[in-house]
Amino acid sequence: MKAEEIKKICVVGAGNMGHQIALQAALSGFKVTCTDINEKTLEEARNFAHNWLQSRVEKQKLDPVAAEAASERLHFTASLEEAAQDADLVIEAIVENLDIKRKLFAQLDHICPPHAILATNSSYIVSSRIADATGRPDKVLNMHFFNPALVMKLVEVVRGPHVSDETVEAAIGFCHALNKVPVRVNKEIYGFIVNRIFSAITQEACYLLDQEVASIEDIDLAVKNGLGHPMGPFELLDMTGIDLEYDVLMGKYRSSGDIKDKPSPAIVERYAQGRYGRKTKRGFYDYNK
């Protein structure tokens, strides 16, 4: 499968990442079907796409004809078979649970045409833990988009030992077609590139907070004004989700058994209180004000 042969995209998972990836692909000229088992999530995704396109037109940042064309190329359905049966590329953006992902990829292997590439948007679960659930391991890889996917340019294309050269090149080419910046990760490693670096920063930021060395606000100010980061580590955790950070760290801890991998008290406290960040209006910061 070559990049120029990719015409039809299936995105599995209509949540925040999934529906933005789907909309970006539709804006880039691809025929896209986004699917989810949750009808409410699908309806929210439809409304987001409609409102986002309309707002871009109203702000004169998108031509009305282009917006209409993108809307016509983007479809939503609760049927996985309908969404994936003629796909050239599937991008999975569902819950970070290995068993659920393996079950889905086994289904996709039966539904999709033999040439289709199956990609996971997972930020931590490497494709070698999923590929053997299919009969096409050479066509299974990680394509890790960043949140918000309509804005962030980076995509980490991660090559496991089972992935063919052709699949990697097709994924790289597809990212370029989306006007994204793909980076090659030549070996599978926990967290890939960006999340490993981000994890080191957030771990140290949480340590400084837990030890009462400095406040949330001052740590964020120091990182933004001293290191030139656009957001501080706590602001970024609030945006990506403290619940996700907790789940990822607990998963790593269960796997390694190393107490150093456990989430910090600052993360655990907010997770227990349901303060997940922007999505719940409270995290390290209060967004109700």
Catalytic residue among 16, 19, 144, 199: 144
Reading the block at residue 103, the tokens are 């079950």
Catalytic residue among 123, 128, 199, 264: 123
* Residue 123 bears catalytic tag: yes
Alpha-helical runs (H) found in the chain: 16-27, 39-58, 64-73, 80-84, 98-111, 165-177, 194-210, 216-226, 233-240, 242-256, 265-272
Q: Among 195, 17, 39, 252, which residue's Cα sits nearest to residue 120?
A: 17
* Residue 156 bears catalytic tag: yes
**Residue 35 · residue 77 · CB < 8 Å:** yes
Q: Among 285, 286, 103, which residue's Cα sits nearest to residue 209?
A: 285
* Residue 169 bears catalytic tag: no
Catalytic residue among 195, 199, 235, 264: 195
Q: Burial, 40: exposed, middle or buried (Cβ in 10 Å; 0-12, 13-18, 19+)? A: exposed
Residue with tokens 């809307």: 71
* Residue 4 bears catalytic tag: no
Catalytic residue among 121, 122, 142, 156: 156
Which positions are annotated as active-site residues? 123, 144, 156, 195
